[in-house]
Copies of this chain bind each other. A is one copy, B any other.
């Protein structure tokens, strides 16, 4: 392959607000426009919206499923990975990406943020968790003002990491 694709994960809950769903769809669309492959957990909510956005722009979508059947993937997943690992598949979602965009999210998303940061994979956030320890804010989640910039930041961080 002459040009290596970028793999970017979009993480967020299978239940999401309307606003977050819109953010996710825009992130998916922009990732596809910029030629990145979308990695996600393959289910509904944020994951489905991101896949729908990516597919509408001709992007490639990978869904790393917690259950044991490919039928559980949302209809916009082109490449279902069937793990049957339950929540342990969260590790596979983030490790299969070069950067992660977190949108909204509950405790499953929090676990993915932890796994990503633990592995040195950059995390860009839209309306997501903020972290502090002993009263001090931890700045590891890079906040983005909107979906387009979230994608720009994520892709620039991958490029920088690859040049280092």
Chain A interface residues (CB < 8 Å from chain B) = 1, 5, 7, 37, 60, 62, 64, 68, 70, 78-88, 90-92, 95-96, 106-115, 117-119, 127-134, 140
Of the residues B111, B118, B133, contact of A115 by C-beta under 8 Å: B111
Give the distance to chain B from A107, nearest Cβ to Cβ, in Å: 4
Please name all residues of chain B whose beta carbon is closer than 8 Å to the beta carbon of A91 when the two chains form the complex: 83-88, 90-91
Of the residues B82, B96, B106, contact of A96 by C-beta under 8 Å: B82
Of the residues B37, B96, B130, B134, contact of A127 by C-beta under 8 Å: B134
Give the distance to chain B from A53, nearest Cβ to Cβ, in Å: 16
Q: Are the CB atoms of A110 and B131 closer together than 8 Å?
A: yes
Main secondary structure of the interface of A (DSSP, over half): mixed
A-B pairs with beta carbons under 8 Å apart, 18 shown = A68-B86, A68-B95, A80-B96, A81-B92, A83-B95, A83-B96, A84-B86, A84-B87, A86-B91, A88-B88, A88-B92, A92-B92, A107-B140, A110-B110, A110-B117, A111-B111, A111-B114, A111-B118
Of the residues B83, B118, B127, contact of A107 by C-beta under 8 Å: B118
Complexed CA–CA distance, A118 and B13 (Å)? 11
